[in-house]
Amino acid sequence: MTPNDYITKNYEHLKLSCKNISKGHKLSEDLLHYVLTEFLEKDNVQEIVDSGSATFYIIRMVLNSWNSQTSKFHFDYRHQYGIRTQELFDVPYEADIQPDTELHLEIAKEAVAELDWYSEKLFNTFIDEGHTVSSLSRETLIPRSSIKLSLDRVRLHIKKRIKEKTQES
CB 61 within 8 A of CB 7: no
pLDDT tens, per residue, the chain with 169 residues = 888 888 889 888 888 888 888 788 777 788 888 888 888 888 888 888 898 888 888 888 888 888 777 777 776 666 555 434 334 444 444 444 444 567 777 888 888 888 888 888 888 888 888 888 888 888 888 888 888 888 888 888 888 888 888 777 6
Q: Which fold has domain 82-168?
A: Arc Repressor Mutant, subunit A (1.10.10)
What global pTM score does this model have? 0.46
pLDDT of residue 79: 56
Q: Which of 81, 74, 69 is nearest to 35 (CA)?
A: 74
Q: How far is CA 46 from CA 15, 17, 56, 61, in A?
A: 21, 22, 14, 16
- The domain locations on the chain are 3-79, 82-168
Cα–Cα dist 140/149, whole Å: 15
